[in-house]
Structure 1
C-alpha cells in the first residue's frame, strides 16, 4: 500500500490532494496545526475510502513542528512515506513593510525551511528504496514580483527543479505545482480582497490536483494548471516586472494587523 504525507490537508489544495490520493487507495499521514479539523478530516477520509489515516498535529512555522514531521518521515518502524505533498502555507496582506517582520519570517520558515527539511527527510528513504514522489506546492506568483510571498514561492520552484536535477536517476519524481487563484480559504484567511477578481480567474482545487498528477505522470517537474495561467507565466517572462507587480497587488491592497493563520 502506498503512503502519502500531506501538509495543510484540512482545506483547499491540501484537502483536494487528500481526497484524490485516498480515492486512489493511498494510506495517508495528515499534518496540520488545527487538531480538531485534522481529526474531522481524517475521520471523513477513513469512512469514505476505507484507508488508513494517521494524524500529526504540528506547526510547520516552528522548529519543533518541522522536527516532529522529519521524525515521522525517518521513522523506520512505521510505513515509509512514498509521496510527500508540501502544501502548507499562508499569505500576508499588504505590501512590503506593511506586514510585521515576525509574520514575514514565519512565512519563510513555512514556505522555505519546512519544504527544504521535509523534502530532504523524505528523499533520503526514497533514494534508498529507489522510488518516491515529492510535490511542492508553489504558485504562479513565483514568476511575478509580489513581496515575500512571491519570493518564497520562487524559491520553492527553483529548489524543486534543482532537487530533480541533482537526484535524476534515483527513482524520485519531483513536481513544483504553480496554481493561480484557487477557490479555497487562503485569501479569506490572509484578509485579501479576493472579491475584486473576475470569476474567470478562479480555479477549482480538485481540478488543480488532477492537472498536477497528470503532469507528474508525464514526467514534468513544473506544473501550471490551466491554459490561462500558462499564458500568464509566459507573459511574465517578457512583460516588465512593474506591470505584473501592479496587476497582482490589487487583491491584497489593505492590511489587517492580526497575523493570518496558515493552511495547516
Structure 2
C-alpha cells in the first residue's frame, strides 16, 4: 500500500473549455502587463507585484446579439410608426365621411322645406284665386239685382238720384268736396239731388232735418239716410233700394255701395 493511500485528494474539478480560454486570455493579459511593468521599472525597484487588472474580453457572440437587439428595436419602432399613420388616416377618412353625410342630410332637409313652402304658397294662391272668383260672382249677382230693382221700382226723380249715386261708386272721399271726381258724404247727397233740381243744404246736420222723417222699415229709393240725431247727424248717404245705400264713407274706402246691415243708420228723411 502506498504511503499516500489514505491522504484525501485535493484535486479540483475540471473546468469547461470556455472558462479555461477566458482565464487564459486574462492571464495572458496580466502577464503582459507585468512584463511591461518590469521592463520599465529600475533594477533596484524589482519588487513582487501585489495588484492585477483583469481586462474583460468580449466574445463574438455578445457583439452579434447586441446588433440583433438594435435591429429588432428599429423594426418595432418602424411598425409602431406605420400603425400610427394608418390609424390617423382611418380617423381622417371617418371624419370626412361623417361631414359628407351631414352635408347631404342638411341639403335634403333644405330641399324638403323649400318644396313644402312652395306647395303651401301654391295652395294659398289657389285659395285666394277661388275667393276672388267667388267675390266677383257675388258682385255681379248684386249688380244684376240692383239693375233689376232700378228698372222695376225706381222711377222719375228717384231713379235719376239713384243712378247718379251708383255712378259715383269708386270715386275718392275728400272732406269738403262736392264732385265731380271726389266727394264727402253730404257733398255726394247734395250733388245727387241737384240732378233733379232740388237744392239741399250743404252739411249733413241740416240735410238730416230736411223733408219728412220716415221709418227705416218703409224706405224708398232716393231717401236720405243719416247717422246720429236728426238736425245733428254726423253722416248721410242715399238709399238705392234692395237693402243697400251709396255713401262717401271715408278716405280709406271712398264712395261705396253697402248693405244697411254693414252700418245700420239711425233714421231717414224723404225729400221727393
TM-score of Structure 1 vs Structure 2, range by shorter chain: under 0.3
Return the TM-score normalized by structure 1.
Answer: 0.20
> Quick check: which has more Rg, 1 or 2?
2
Bigger relative contact order (CA 8 A; separation at least 6): 1
Return the TM-score normalized by structure 2.
Answer: 0.20
